[in-house]
Amino acid sequence: MKNYLKLVNFEFNRCAKLYFVLIGLTAVSQLIAVFVESRRYLSQVNVALYQDKIPKAQFLSETGEMSMFWIVNNAWFSLPIIICITAMLFYSFFIWYIEWMGKNSFIYRLLMLPTARMNIFWSKLTTIALMIFGLIAAQLALLLIEGQLLEWLVTNEFRVDLSIQQLSESSYYLAILIPKSFIAFIMHYGAGFGMLLIVFTVILLERSFRFKGMLLGLVFGTVAFLLFFLPTIASEVVGFKGLYPEELLIAELVLGLMVIGLSSWTSHYLLNKKVTV
């Protein structure tokens, strides 16, 4: 356990610089979104009220108030989210492959640590999870800051304040990242980490058997994926509607645990018996 925590700390420190750059980039870009959108709106207000002499009430009913809605749908807002998601996907592979890369083969050291090799596996998974939750937390904090900034830039009479709840519904990306209910949260992120676990196992298959491992990995990934989404496939594709929502949830949970078990057992076997430096 102690070694696991040390490894998590080590893994996180390794990518901390890049990670904070990612957060900084997001903050800057999203603040730009606030400025861009509020200036666009304010110039609209100016043109309407002072040039075209349209009454305020009429302007508000035609154009509407300024709110975070416009901001979260601006490209400056969503682009860094896309970049972060891509970076995390990329890093999920990189976190393993970097150990074998170049002249410095850190994999030797990792495999020779006097600790269970699965600790390496779990620490890498945990690091990715921490990074993702960290990004979400940063996004929530940023939304508050951005709301505050908007309050300064646009006066009360032209502005509607939205809750985070309302906001998450108004953006495609936020809707995925910040699920509405706790169950949805568990489902989204459970599925996400289940997939990550499968990806890790596939990587280890490739690392153990190289080209043959890639094919094996493809088979393993497909089987695990199908197993995991069996209920969804059954209802959506085949049209099987025999299960109540609660039953579906339990079935999904059991299958999820099965996939997690299968994937971690395979990884354990590969790391201890088949992986090669």
Cα 197 off chain centre by: 15
Other C-beta atoms lying within 10 Å of the C-beta of residue 224? 23
Residues 233-252 that bind another protein (CB under 8 A): none
Residue 102 C-beta: closest distance to another protein, Å: 7
Residue 34 near residue 149 (C-beta atoms within 8 A): yes
Eight-class DSSP state of 171: -
159 phi and psi, to 5 degrees?
Answer: -130, 140
Residues 70-109 that bind another protein (CB under 8 A): 102-106, 108-109
Q: How many residues appear in the chain?
A: 277
- Which listed residue (36, 54, 111, 191) binds another protein by CB under 8 A? 111
Residues 114-153 that bind another protein (CB under 8 A): 114-117
For residue 119, the SS3 value is helix
**Closer Cβ to another protein, 38 or 208, answer by number:** 208
Residue 122 C-beta: closest distance to another protein, Å: 14
Residue 238 C-beta: closest distance to another protein, Å: 41
User: In DSSP terms, which residues pair with 66 in a beta bridge?
Assistant: 159
Instruction: Categorise residue 178: left if φ over 0, alpha if ψ from -120 to 50, beta otherwise.
Output: beta
- Which listed residue (4, 6, 233, 249) binds another protein by CB under 8 A? 6
User: Residue 3, interface with another protein (CB under 8 A)?
Assistant: yes
User: Residue 274, interface with another protein (CB under 8 A)?
Assistant: yes
**Closer Cβ to another protein, 87 or 270, answer by number:** 270
Closest CA to 170 of 30, 72, 84, 34: 72
Residue 10 C-beta: closest distance to another protein, Å: 7
User: Contact positions toward another protein, by CB under 8 A?
Assistant: 3, 6, 10, 14, 102-106, 108-109, 111-117, 208, 272-277
